[in-house]
Each structure stands twice: as C-alpha cells, then as structure tokens.
Structure 1
Amino acid sequence: MKSVALAVLQLLALAIPPIAVLIKMLRNSDDLPWSHRKWSFGMAILSIVLFISAGIAVLVYLSTEYALNPLLQLALAFTVLGLVPFALFAGVLYKEHRMTFGP
C-alpha cells in the first residue's frame, strides 16, 4: 500500500504541469465562446482541487500507517500546500479572463 500511496504522489507531480499548459493555451485561444472558456477554467480549477484532496488523503494515510520522520511529513505537507497557490492563481486568471472575454 505504501508504494501505491507514493505512486499517487508521483502522479500528482506529473499531472500539474499539463494543467498549467492547458490554462496557458486556453488564455491564448481567441476563437472559443465565453461559455466554453468558463467551463474549461472550471474544470482546470476542479482538477487542481481534486489533486490537492488526493494529496491530503495520501498524506493522512502515510502519517497514520507509517512512522514517518517529522521532517518528511513536513516536506510532504509543503508539497501538497504548494498546489494551493496554483489553484488560487488559476482563479485569478479566470477572473481576469472573464473581464476580457466574459459577458
């Protein structure tokens, strides 16, 4: 189970860069109507929130099942918390995008 939990953390690390690229591509697309843009930003932000939730679940599992070094627990917590500013930034980009292209 420990290897599965660590694999989930690796998956989280690999999934974030493509989301960032998709957000950048979305911001540069001029042909999409506002409704598609709104749904696209919503899905990107939802992905980030779900990844944060998955990371928290893995951290709780690892902390309760294994005697992890406190420094390692802190590093894992910072890894998951590092996604929070990214989610907030995506929200700010959405607001800016809405002012430019929204109704």
Structure 2
Amino acid sequence: MDLVIKRLSSIEEASAGIIEAAENEKKALEQQMRERIQAFDEEAEKATQEKLDQIRSSLNEEMQKSLADLQKATEDSIQAIENDYNQNHEKLAAGLIAKMIEE
C-alpha cells in the first residue's frame, strides 16, 4: 500500500512538473507572439508612414505644378488684357463717352 501511495505521489509530482513546464513554455510562446506582433505593427506603421510620405510628396509636387500653371495662365491673361487696353484704350474711352452721352 505504501508503495502504491509513493507511486501515486511520484506520478503527481511528475505531472505537476510537466504542468509547470507547459505553463512556462506557454508564457514563453506568448511573449514571443507579443514580440512578433509588436515587430509586425512597427514594420506596418513604418511602411504606412513611408507610403503616406510618398503620396504627400507627390501631391505636393502636383499642387506646385498646378499652381505654377495657374499663375502662368493668369499672368498671360493679364498681359493679354493690358495689351488689348494699350492698343484700344482710345476706342474704348470714346465708346464709353458715346454711351454716356446717349443716356
């Protein structure tokens, strides 16, 4: 009977050791997974930030080009209006005076 109790006690100690080892391994695996998840998150964040920076840069370049094109078109329009005025200001003034007199 003592032998059976000793055997059961020994089996219980062994199973407790196995359970403890499994718990330790589980904790180690959980830590590894947390580290992998954190590394993945950091890498994804970095990749996302790089892509956003590229998009921002591209959009900024497009905006600057559009702004330059708009500025050039505006300057051309102003120059055309000034040229028309310089060439036709006497006719325009005479026309305005004629309209004012008719009214």
TM-score (norm 2): 0.33
Which fold has the larger relative contact order, with Cα–Cα distance below 8 Å and residues 6 or more apart in sequence?
1
Q: Larger Cα Rg: Structure 1 or Structure 2?
A: 2
After TM superposition, the score normalised by the length of structure 1 is: 0.33
